[in-house]
Amino acid sequence: MSFRLPVSSPVGRWVVEGDDDGLTHVWFPADKKSLTHKGVPSLVENAAAQLEEYFAGERTFFETDLHVDGTDFQIDVWRALTQIPFGEVATYRDIATAVGRPAAVRAVGNANGKNPFPVIVPCHRVLASNGLGGYSGGLEIKEFLLELEGWSVF
């Protein structure tokens, strides 16, 4: 059984979902997921607290267990994303090279779009070679996250 908790941010209410063994999803504010009010595992509560600290500018990394479900390529990409330090960015090409598939730039973008753990697995730190690129949560949220980390969007 999955449990969901809200996380407030200046760009809306995110939702953290998981169980006793780890997180299964972080939902964007636009996703409008229902919440769980009783019996929420401490792991899910802890992850929600960490996200709130991040949005308050008090946290630069996350320590939580994740239920990662994806293709081998997606998992490789998501693992590479966790290597981008707070406040820094990489390009889709950088990530493609990091996972040993330098021609798979578009596939990296697709894997980013399927990342079930936005912010915790920082897909917002990946930019196109000619600008911001896309973001599943919307460019306004991507810009907010980058600026929160001290990276100037403009």
pLDDT digits (tens, 9 = 90+) for 60-81: 999 999 999 999 999 999 999 9
User: Of these residues, 123, 141, 146, 148, which one is catalytic?
Assistant: 123
The model's pTM: 0.94
Q: What is the chain's Cα-based Rg? A: 15
Helix (H, G, I), strand (E, B) or coil at 7: strand
**How far, in Å, CA of 21 to CA of 13, rounded?**
24
Contact 48, 13 (CB under 8 A): no
Domains and CATH numbers, the chain: 3-55 (no CATH), 72-148 (1.10.10.10)
68 annotated active-site = no
**How far, in Å, CA of 128 to CA of 137, rounded?**
16
Please check the confidence at residue 1 and state whether its pLDDT lies above 90: no
Please check the confidence at residue 154 and state whether its pLDDT lies above 70: no
